[in-house]
Amino acid sequence: MKLIIQIPCLNEEQTLPATLADLPRRIEGVDAIEVLVVDDGSRDRTIEVARSMGVTHIVRHTTNRGLGRAFRSGLDRALIEGADIIVNTDGDGQYSGGSIEALIRPILDGRADIVIGDRRTATNAEFTRSKKLLQWLGSYVVRSLSGVNVPDAVSGFRAISRQAALRLNILSAFSYTVEMIIQAGNKQMTVVSVPVDTNPQTRESRLFRNIPQFIARQLVGMLRMYAMYRPMRFFFYLGCMLCGAGLIPVARFLLAYFSGAGDGHVQSLVLGGALLTMGFMVFVSGLLSDLISQNRQLAEITLEKIRAIELGITNARLAGQTAAQIDETSA
């Protein structure tokens, strides 16, 4: 059983040493623990620091591609390296390495595909009152969209089984947290949460400039993912809203018409007719999107099989290279 701890980094020269030193060296039920650093276009000595601390698995982006793509690059590399469990933590040392054992235990016990660390924000002194409220509201919305009961939806401290990692397809460049949960819920993966410890904040987040920007980008991501996996329901609700809005002016016109004053309310009929037409077109769009969604699911199944085949070929090639090296050494 191999555990790979991946750490997406962006200019983490100062905080990375403490993060690496805090990681566990042994965990019961795990045969090997390795570390993977994903450098997402850092302009400091992040890579040099990682190598000096003994990190052998390094993925480097020459430019900053965003946290979501850095996370996906890490997953791909961890799978190639033969990870059975992948743990994602932050380079700023926000999450305690001592909680990794508790984080992976549900996967080791066969009870979960994905485990998300719960920072217990309601009682965490690092969170202001406004952040606690926004975190609770955001987690509630994610639960409603995904059907997954997760108290801390934006926590980046999470463990993923190999099979779950093969099925995940992170598309967002901004972040992976919410998208992963919505995907997992719609793919019937088992997601659980465990309480984890956090360390004192070392710096402000580099993921977003301010809270309104963070909320806006997360909302766009939620709507996109919900429309992708539940297109019929999404467009049905939208179509109902438009049709409901269209019925109001039409009813106003009909009331005026039967009372003998319909000539003065033709504009209500025009507006209502336009809204009803838009609602009908949205319903049609929902049907077409649902058909496209079915084709996308077939494409994802094909992609999972291709990735499994590619990993099998890569692992076989690496095993052959290792055997050849052993033979040369023996000779």
Q: What is the pLDDT of residue 264?
A: 64
What pLDDT is attached to residue 210?
A: 67
* Model pLDDT, residue 39: 94
State the angle between helix axes of 129-146 and 177-186 in degrees (0 to 180), rounded to the nearest 10: 30
Q: Give me the residue spans of the domains in the chain.
A: 2-210, 231-326
Whether this prediction's pTM lies above 0.95 is answered by no
- Per-residue pLDDT of the chain in tens (331 residues, 90 and over written 9): 999 999 999 999 999 999 999 999 999 999 999 999 999 999 999 999 999 999 989 999 999 998 889 999 999 999 999 999 999 999 888 899 999 999 999 999 999 999 999 988 878 777 778 777 877 888 888 888 888 888 888 899 999 999 999 989 888 887 888 889 988 988 889 999 999 998 877 666 666 666 777 777 777 777 777 777 778 878 888 889 999 999 998 888 888 878 876 666 788 888 989 999 999 998 888 888 877 777 777 777 787 778 778 777 766 665 565 555 545 544 4
- How many separate helices (H) and strands (E) can be counted in the chain? 10, 7
Q: What is the pLDDT of residue 165?
A: 93
Residue 269 has what pLDDT? 85
CA dihedral 69, 57, 205, 15 (to 10 degrees): -170
Q: Which fold has domain 2-210?
A: Spore Coat Polysaccharide Biosynthesis Protein SpsA; Chain A (3.90.550)
Rounded to an integer, what distance in angstroms lies between the CA atom of residue 85 and that of residue 214?
29
Would you list the DSSP string of 203-265?
S--SS-SSHHHHHHHHHHHHHHHHHHH-HHHHHHHHHHHHHHHHHHHHHHHHHHHHTT-GGGG
